[in-house]
Structure 1
Amino acid sequence: MSDLKDRVKAATTTEEDEQQPQPSAVLDIAARDDHLKWLQSHGTYFTDALPRHVDKAHFTAVALSVLPNLKNCTNQSIMTSLLACARFGLEPDGRQAAIIPYKQTATFQPMYQGYIELMYRHPAVDTVHFGWVRAKDEWDYEPTAPSPRDFRHRPRVDLTDDERGPVILAYAFAWIGGHRSQVIILNRQQATEIRDKYSKGYAKAVREGKNDSPWQTSFDAMWAKSCVRRLVKVVPTSTELTELINSDDDADDAASSAPAVIRGTVVARDDQDGEQPARATEWPATAQPGSASRESEGSEAGEQL
């Protein structure tokens, strides 16, 4: 079998291919070592802030994986963003939270799963559900009907997402002590109105003729988080959830003007001008409607109200 594979490989390899230098992993390994060294020397600032239920080694590994995405970001802004993630016990994995570069500023961006994660920490909250309604799905909303008969959604599981049609609604609800909360429903037009009225980062991008704000690059993600943020108003709240909303708004402020300090985060003075880790260029990936999540909830998120 191995001889056959070798013959096939030889037959499909051109002379030009053979002359091309093969990519080396040396540079990647060196960059990873630099990142790891930087985290090891500065990591106590954020690992000491982690809640008890979050594994420090796993959080550090996730942080290490996102450092290459923060091209040209300052040491202080990276530490501030990591500290914000740690305060809330949210991994910067692009699902619970993300650290997004805006020029030289690394910015903490909680995702909708991050809000849901904090809701689950309240002892009265049984489950939280977020979903998308697509054009060909069966659904009905009758706000005057008693819960839970006021809202019904039956996705067309026999069809692909494309066959089900475009997303027309985002919705979210929670079960609290055996009772279902109000259903939060947000259509595309309402999401657009939230963007236009509240997002300073989007307004700044429009003024400058740019297309780099989260509302422009990940509209569905922002739409989803707008919906879940409204759910916060009808579930048992906590100081932690309130602080997450404040930090979310601070991130929008940071994207629209000079770097903002995320409330409740403090970076030691001697760390602000410290050595920078090596950089790369990619942004964290953001899942779109139809992707898997906790309870198969549907998308990725991010949004400032």
Structure 2
Amino acid sequence: MSELKDRVKAATSGPDDQPQEPAPVTDLAVNDSVRQWLQRRQTYFTDALPRHVDKAHFMSVALASMEKLKDCTPASINTALLACCRFGLEPDGRQAAIIPYKEVATFQPMYEGYIELMYRHPRVDSVHFGWIREKDQWDYTPTEPSPRDFFHKPRVDLSEADRGPVILAYAFAWIDGRRSQVIMLNRSQAEAIRDKYSKAYKNAERKGTRDSTWHTDFDAMWAKSSVRRLVKVVPTSHDLTELLQADDAVDDAQPAPPVIRGTVISRDDEPGPDDQETPTPTWPKTAQPGGGAEGGEQE
């Protein structure tokens, strides 16, 4: 018995006969690649998806987004992916994005994500977003009844460059067979929203870094501001309300997990949900206005 005790003591003692500290618990998600981490937890995420979402496609998109998150903590990636699953939005940079804030991965809905959730309401027939360029044919007369109050005809006989710069973003929905109010947002209005609400923009201007999202991807912010205003005139679902809440929560703390419960703060000009203090996120690039499926006209 004494010999056995001596063996146990030797196995648990250091060279100076001092008890060794227990080995730290290793998180496999840190040592393994994020792709392997996600693959091992595939069922965990797919079980959280709404039934209408294609699980295999969602996971393939999620896997493709993992490389840029390799320096983020597993807990933050887990939280961001669960938020995507909660709303049934793919982290493809169009419906939603998972943005690395140094070591923290943060869920960020994009303007197509808002449109996707609007579509899910049974009263909404369709949702449209578009860019108007300088030489396009268009007219907007608010006093006319719908749908005669607005029309837009892109100049298909001209190249995108020849159509001129983008002058307006617009969005509207068809609800119960009738068209909603048309939301129009010109560049100066988008800049006013940026100047009033964007903490990240003010911080980047103050520091002279000019690396906020409003600096690096103004068009994405412009588009999103337009679609967020449309939320006010379409039937509101519980999911859409929670998405707004989660989006706004990103601006409340740096970084913070999304809030998916509570009420929506009502104000005339919604602050850009991507308006961050520091650190500045790395955003997926958005196609140029009028450039097609990725950030272009969707009509």
TM range (shorter): 0.7 to 0.9
**Other structure's SS at 1:164 match:** coil
In the TM superposition, residue 205 of structure 1 has moved relative to its aligned partner by 2.8
Are the aligned partners of 1:70 and 1:283 in contact in 2 as well (CA < 8 Å)?
no
Separation in structure 1 between the aligned mates of residue 249 and residue 73 of structure 2, nearest angstrom: 17
Q: Counterpart in 1 of 2:269?
A: none
Separation in structure 2 between the aligned mates of residue 106 and residue 162 of structure 1, nearest angstrom: 36
Q: Could you say which structure has the greater relative contact order, defined with CA pairs below 8 angstroms and 6 or more residues apart?
A: 1
> Residue deviations 1:224-247, cap 9 Å, x none?
010001001001111111111111
In the TM superposition, residue 172 of structure 1 has moved relative to its aligned partner by 0.5
> Residue deviations 1:245-301, cap 9 Å, x none?
1111122334xxx32121149xxxxxxxxxxxxxxxx853322212323997359xx
Are the aligned partners of 2:243 and 2:260 in contact in 1 as well (CA < 8 Å)?
no
Q: Counterpart in 2 of 1:262?
A: 258
Cα distance change, pair 178–264 in 1 and its aligned pair in 2 (3 A):
closer
Gap regions ≥5 residues in structure 2: 1-31, 262-281
Q: Counterpart in 2 of 1:291?
A: 291
Q: Counterpart in 2 of 1:4?
A: none
Q: Counterpart in 2 of 1:63?
A: 62
Are the aligned partners of 1:126 and 1:175 in contact in 2 as well (CA < 8 Å)?
yes
**Other structure's SS at 1:227 match:** helix
In the TM superposition, residue 174 of structure 1 has moved relative to its aligned partner by 0.6
Are the aligned partners of 1:172 and 1:183 in contact in 2 as well (CA < 8 Å)?
yes
The answer to whether the aligner puts 1:115 opposite 2:114 as a matched pair is yes
TM-score by length of 1: 0.76
In the TM superposition, residue 81 of structure 1 has moved relative to its aligned partner by 1.2
Are the aligned partners of 2:106 and 2:257 in contact in 1 as well (CA < 8 Å)?
no
In the TM superposition, residue 116 of structure 1 has moved relative to its aligned partner by 0.5
In the TM superposition, residue 48 of structure 1 has moved relative to its aligned partner by 2.4
Number of residues of Structure 1 aligned to a counterpart in Structure 2: 249
In the TM superposition, residue 170 of structure 1 has moved relative to its aligned partner by 0.2
> Residue deviations 1:55-111, cap 9 Å, x none?
222211111101111252222221111111111100000111111222222221211
Cα distance change, pair 69–93 in 1 and its aligned pair in 2 (3 A):
same
Separation in structure 2 between the aligned mates of residue 47 and residue 284 of structure 1, nearest angstrom: 24
Q: Counterpart in 1 of 2:45?
A: 46
Separation in structure 2 between the aligned mates of residue 298 and residue 220 of structure 1, nearest angstrom: 15
Separation in structure 2 between the aligned mates of residue 193 and residue 159 of structure 1, nearest angstrom: 31
Q: Counterpart in 1 of 2:270?
A: none
Pairwise CA RMSD: 2.4
Kindly, what percent of the aligned residue pairs are identical? Answer: 69
TM-score by length of 2: 0.77
Give 1:131-280 correspondences, 5 Å limit.
131-254=130-253, 258-264=254-260
Task: Tell which structure's C-alpha radius of gyration is larger.
Answer: 2
Letter in 2 for 1:261: P
Are the aligned partners of 1:50 and 1:89 in contact in 2 as well (CA < 8 Å)?
yes
Structure 1 runs (4+) deviating above 6 angstroms are none
